[in-house]
Amino acid sequence: MAGNLDAIVIGAGFGGLTAAIKLKEAGFDRVVVLEKGDRIGGTWRDNTYPGACCDVPSRLYSLSFALNPEWSRSFSPQSEIRDYMERVAGQFGVTDKFRFNTEVEKAQWDEAAGLWRVTVKGGETLTAPILISGLGQLNKPGYAGIPGRDSFAGESWHSARWRHDIDLKGKTVACIGAGASAIQYIPEIAKEAGKVVVFQRTPNYIVPRKDREFSAFEKWLYRTFPAVDRGQRWLIWKLMDMRFEAFKLGTKQAEKFKSDALAYLDEVVKDPVLKAKLTPDYPIGCKRVLVSDDFYQALVRPNVELVDSAIKTVTANGVLTADGVEHPCDVIIYGTGFITTDFVNPVEILGREGKSLSDAWKDGAEAYLGVTVSGFPNLFMLYGPNTNLGHNSIIFMIEAQVDYAVKAMQALKSRGARALDVRPDAFARFNTQLQKDLTETSWAGSCSSWYKTASGKITNNWSGDTATYRKMTAQPALADYELT
């Protein structure tokens, strides 16, 4: 292969980590993982808010080849996941592949040389025949265009950039947003803040998490008999995968899922006004179904208020809502999610004939199996377009994508080929079918979500179960690629 590197990987989250390990195992040892942050972890490094934890069971939210018998709880806390990632990097001998504080600005395909030229902040350029993006979908905090943000006189921050230096004790805290992140930290800060005002634009379906500590005996069992851990992992994966039917419009399973979620709301929230505010009016699964044992419980505390009037603007004193009420506060926390539909941005990626990926995606991002894009040879994306899930673990998808990229690299090597580019017809065929299949899923329902663009194209979610995805990515169909 040309150049002095086998591959350049962008991002040190689960994608970058898995790629570094699997590439090394496959003999592609000359790999660098470029990371703008200062340590491994991706979203699990960035999101340190109180109560941050995974809403996918710990046994499944780990790499299949690096089981962790030591998980402390059935749903792992953020710091444990980040530490696990760092430990795994050491265990598999890839720590030295990571180059931190290195922000990638541009990647350009050089057709003549058969190389990606990757420019990092400061001007240095690295080259490699293969480029793997581990940027994922949830790395750019978004503020939802809420006006007046700069006029606020107090402290404010985004949930993914938590200010641990500010004590919330006794303060009045405005929490904007009631999504997957907010429902984890609101119960925590409600324990110490004087008052918490939650600004909810759209209610979510919530089901109990049933989180619990693992006993010393369970940890011993998993440590001593890894097959038990593996079996448990498989069972959780299978049961979760079977739930995919509940994420299709109009199925019996969706109906049951919805009635279970509403029964949970009924059980915890007795006040009919609060209950009405918390009752969604769209198909279940259309937005991410949240799992929590303490969010509804926090909302019924005397120091917590739920406001569902739209936010007009942030003022110097607090938050002004459309009903003309100003809600004074000391601190504002934006739990307003991430910029999700532009994927690799702000990294500028230029493919064949200088074509930019953002231009190719002007009508919404798309990829072949979520991994490759026509006109961008030897580029592999991890957790790329249409690979997010509502019902299972994204780590499963990332492993499938990394295996796919490694097999494609092996195919290039064994055939003495330099580049592999998905054929436009195969690319179009795949995406036409994908969008057709997606019309049957709950994501196509009547709600707004981070899974789709402003025009309604679903760019983020996979259309089926993960077993199907795994099957489809098991081997690169070389007939769908042009090999140079």
Nearest distance, CB of residue 201 and ligand NAP, angstroms: 3
Size of the site for ligand NAP (CB under 6 A): 26
Using the minimum distance from each CB to ligand NAP, give the nearer residue, 177 or 351: 177
Nearest distance, CB of residue 52 and ligand NAP, angstroms: 7
Instruction: Considering only residues 388 through 417, tell me which ones interact with ligand NAP, judged by CB under 6 A.
Output: none
| β-bridge mates for residue 172, sequence order | 195
Buried b (16+ CB within 10 A) or exposed e, 223-240: eeeeeebeebbeebbeeb
Q: Using the rule CB under 6 A, is 179 a contact of ligand NAP?
A: yes
Using the minimum distance from each CB to ligand NAP, give the nearer residue, 87 or 149: 149
- How far are the Cα atoms of 108, 246, 253, 438 from residue 256, in angstroms, in the given order? 49, 8, 5, 21
Using the minimum distance from each CB to ligand NAP, give the nearer residue, 43 or 463: 43
Instruction: Considering only residues 344 through 383, tell me which ones interact with ligand NAP, judged by CB under 6 A.
Output: none
Nearest distance, CB of residue 379 and ligand NAP, angstroms: 24
Nearest distance, CB of residue 47 and ligand NAP, angstroms: 7
Sole window of 16-24, 54-62, 106-114, 354-362 interacting with ligand NAP (rule: CB under 6 A)? 54-62
Using the minimum distance from each CB to ligand NAP, give the nearer residue, 28 or 450: 450
Q: Using the rule CB under 6 A, is 45 a contact of ligand NAP?
A: no
Sole window of 115-123, 138-146, 267-275, 433-441 interacting with ligand NAP (rule: CB under 6 A)? 138-146
Q: Using the rule CB under 6 A, is 177 a contact of ligand NAP?
A: yes
Give the span between the Cα atoms of 310 and 480, in whole angstroms: 48
> Is residue 117 within 8 Å of residue 107, measured between CB atoms?
yes
Instruction: Considering only residues 228 through 257, tell me which ones interact with ligand NAP, judged by CB under 6 A.
Output: none
Q: Using the rule CB under 6 A, is 339 a contact of ligand NAP?
A: no
Instruction: Considering only residues 268 through 327, tell me which ones interact with ligand NAP, judged by CB under 6 A.
Output: 287-288, 311
Using the minimum distance from each CB to ligand NAP, give the nearer residue, 448 or 475: 448
Using the minimum distance from each CB to ligand NAP, give the nearer residue, 152 or 427: 152
Sole window of 164-172, 178-186, 245-253, 270-278 interacting with ligand NAP (rule: CB under 6 A)? 178-186
**Sign of torsion over alpha carbons 160, 339, 180, 56:** negative
Q: Using the rule CB under 6 A, is 103 a contact of ligand NAP?
A: no
Instruction: Considering only residues 421 through 480, tell me which ones interact with ligand NAP, judged by CB under 6 A.
Output: 448, 450
Does residue 346 have a cis peptide bond before it, meaning omega lies within 30 degrees of 0?
yes
Nearest distance, CB of residue 367 and ligand NAP, angstroms: 19
Residue 424's contacts (CB-CB under 8 Å, 6 or more residues apart) are: 374, 375
Nearest distance, CB of residue 464 and ligand NAP, angstroms: 18
**For binding to ligand NAP (CB under 6 A), which residues are involved?**
54-56, 138, 144, 146, 159, 176-182, 199, 201-202, 287-288, 311, 335-338, 448, 450
